[in-house]
Amino acid sequence: MAQNVPTQDLDSVTITSTRIDIPFKENSRTITVITADDIKNSASLTIADLLQQFAGVDIRRRGTGGSQSDLYIRGGGFDQTLLLIDGIKMDDAQTGHHTMNAALPLEVIERIEIIKGPAARIFGQNAFTGAINIVTKSTLNNVVSTNLETGSFGQFNGSVTIGGELENSSHIVHAGKMTSQGYRINSDYDNSNYFVKSVFNKNHQAIEMLATFFDRKFGAQNFYTTNATFFEYEETQNSLLAFTTQFKSSKLKVQPRLYWKRNQDMFLLRREDPSFFRNFHITHKVGIETNASYTSKAGITGFGVDLSKTFINSNNLGKRNRFMANVFLEHRFKLANNKLDITPGVALSYFSDFKFHAFPGIDVGYEITDNLRVYGNVGYTYRIPTYTDLFYSDPATQGNPDLEPEEAFAQELGFKYVTSKFSASIALFNRDAENLIDYIRPNVSNGIFTATNITEVNTKGLEFDTSYNFKLNNFTQTLAFSYANLNDNILDQNEDLSRYALNTLKHQYATRFSSQWFKNIRQNIVYKYAERSTGQTYNVWDASVFVKIKAAELSVTASNIFDADYIESGFVPMPPSNILFGLRYNFN
């Protein structure tokens, strides 16, 4: 990795997760951009580790190495946040537990866009509380990079990343392996990651191909139960194949895409006895979409069509399929000498099993100065039940085929200030939801939880983010911190009868100091504080040091330095303090 690379300015970033490309500081939504520099200085090994450093995002892990992590935004559930890769929707009809199975290795990521608040009118039904778009690197300019890491718990990570620029094509290839003996009983894992991005015919009508395959095998002790006789185990596979091209003129941009996503999940209650209880699910999603924008004197119009079909074959959920059709339309008006922008929009969706739904919304922003903006947005959002919500069955859990879709009306008001050295934003939000799906038991003596539409729930909160870049000894130093406060009345439903309502992050604070004092040495310190609705509080410190020696880079990453004792999800204690030593070498 190059030393003292100029920090990527937020005011130069264009948000690409919408149909209308808008510079970051002109966007009238709460969006956090994690740049390549942020990733490099994060002391993180996976996306799950990285996203924990940003307030308003709650990653609840059940172990290390990205074996299983659930993604939450603004107090929503793990089924209510959409993950995208280069704008491709990675939702899984089986369950939101698989959302992070599609997360990419950090080496191939250019930046991450976190869109907070209702985004259904932009992306469709799964973006109930927000969305995360992973933008992959476009080129790597003829380089081969190898990475080896080893450390606590028998961890061993190895990867190779290759970039090649040919006369009429470009290619990025990544292969990686992450293994560990585990930090507690039955917490071992063996994870493989493969990624290919190619652009063909780039001198004429370029066609981009994206292909991924992730294979994870891991001990799942107490992931879902506390039964002492169980020895749980899980294997998942996630793959994506997509082809995209773009037609562009001075006023019109059209981007068609064809994609296929596959997820496979096998779960055993007793690892050494598959015949005792085994769930096996295979889900396919095949889709075709076209997104476009047209620029005229009246502003920019964005529109799109997304058609897809999902198939699932499961020994527990049955053999089922669902057809989905989405039509998107929005228009950005600019008034008052281009200081005021108004963007109304609507998404119309059809589901073969839940019929038609509409999600209208509007964004409004005003440029007070060149660097200061006030903005607000309101919108409707909703989520249809997953196949697990509808049909799952085991001795302790029961789906409900009569479930209604979740619905919500959300509002937000915010300010953002952006310069090349300093950025800050603050947002207040409110969400009124009804028919939220939870697993409820009729009384404390009954151990069977049934998927149920619970009554109205109000969620409100505040988020604050800031980052400051400054020079010391001619090197760039970065100090960033964020805070989120969230309140909801979901516990009023009856916390003793609910399975998933607990554990919301009430207070969340994160700070990162990335510094460099000498030419070849840089270091990062990350601090995270959390207070959950269960009353649990914890402080976690991570740090990393990188030493550059010509084409080689040595690293030491320490996690949970002060050995905090805490749980992020369910019944699984997080790892104690641990350390990882790494060597990266670039062949140019």
Structure confidence by residue, pLDDT tens digits, 156-198: 999 999 999 999 999 999 999 999 999 999 999 999 999 999 9
Q: What is the pLDDT of residue 450?
A: 92
Residues 6+ apart with CB under 8 A from 550: none
Instruction: Determine the pLDDT at residue 403.
Output: 95
Q: What is the pLDDT of residue 5?
A: 38
Q: How far is CA 385 from CA 357, 438, 454, 526, in A?
A: 14, 11, 13, 37
The stretch 442-459 carries a mean pLDDT of: 84
Report the distance separating Cα 241 and Cα 257, nearest Å: 11
112 is written with which tokens?
């991450």
Q: How many residues does the chain have?
A: 588
Buried b / exposed e over 421-433, threshold 16 CB at 10 Å, is eebebbbbbebeb
| Residue 454: predicted pLDDT | 83
Hey, what amino acid is at 84?
A: L
Place of tokens 């990393």: 544
What the block records as the tokens of 365 is 């922003």
What pLDDT is stored for residue 446 in this prediction? 75
pLDDT tens per residue, range 115-151: 998 888 888 878 889 999 999 998 888 889 999 999 9
How confident is the prediction for the chain on average, in pLDDT?
90
Q: What is the pLDDT of residue 2?
A: 36
Using the structure block, give the residue that is written with the tokens 């049909």: 391
- Long-range pairs, 386-390, Cβ under 8 A, ≥24: 386/79, 386/92, 386/93, 386/94, 386/95, 386/96, 387/93, 387/94, 387/95, 387/312, 387/314, 387/317, 387/320, 388/94, 388/95, 388/317, 389/79, 389/437, 389/451, 390/317, 390/451
| 556 or 447, higher pLDDT | 556
Please tell me the predicted confidence (pLDDT) of residue 111: 93
Backbone angles phi, psi at 387, to 5 degrees: -65, -30
Q: Give residue 500's pLDDT.
A: 60
Mean pLDDT of 50-71: 86
Q: Which is higher by pLDDT, 330 or 3?
A: 330
Per-residue pLDDT at 124: 80
According to DSSP, residue 25 is labeled G
Cα–Cα distance for residue pair 552/586, rounded to 1 Å: 7
Residues 218 and 183 sit within 8 Å (Cβ to Cβ): no
pLDDT, residue 125, reads 77
Check whether 8 has a pLDDT greater than 60: no
Task: Give the DSSP letter string of 485-550.
Answer: EEEE-GGGGTGGGBSSS---EEEEEEEEEEEEEETTEEEEEEEEEEEETTS-EEEEEEEEEEEEET
pLDDT in tens, 9-54: 665 577 766 678 887 778 888 999 998 888 988 878 899 999 989 9
Residue 227 makes CB contacts below 8 A (sequence gap 6+) with: none
Instruction: Return the minimum-mean-pLDDT range out of 67-71, 524-528, 565-569.
Output: 67-71
Higher pLDDT, 63 or 275: 275
Mean pLDDT, residues 64-69 taken together: 79
pLDDT recorded at residue 12: 59
- Residue 378 confidence (pLDDT) above 60: yes
User: What percentage of the chain carries pLDDT values higher than 90?
Assistant: 71
Task: Report the pLDDT value the prediction gives residue 360, as an integer from 0 to 100.
Answer: 94
Distance of CA 350 to the CA centre of its chain: 25
254 — pLDDT class (breaks 50, 70, 90): very high
What are the angstrom distances between the C-alpha of 29 and each of 165, 314, 340, 371, 423? Answer: 36, 39, 14, 15, 15
pLDDT of amino acid 496: 63
In the structure, what pLDDT confidence band is assigned to residue 384 with cuts at 50, 70 and 90? very high
pLDDT given for residue 7 in this prediction: 46
More confident residue, 62 or 346: 346
- Alpha-carbon distance of 148 to 181, in angstroms, equals 17
Per-residue pLDDT of 74-84, as tens digits, reads 988 888 999 99
pLDDT tens per residue across span 296-328:
999 999 999 999 999 999 999 999 999 999 999
Q: Two tokens at 69?
A: 């992590």
Provide the β-strand partners of residue 130.
81, 116
Q: What is the DSSP letter of 336?
A: T
123, containing H or E segment = helix 120-123
Is the dihedral angle over the CA atoms 124, 125, 130, 136 positive or is it negative? negative
pLDDT at 445: 76
Question: Cα 281 to the chain's mean position, in Å?
Answer: 23
Q: What is the pLDDT of residue 3?
A: 36
Given this model, what pLDDT does residue 4 score? 38
507 contacts 462 by C-beta, under 8 angstroms: no
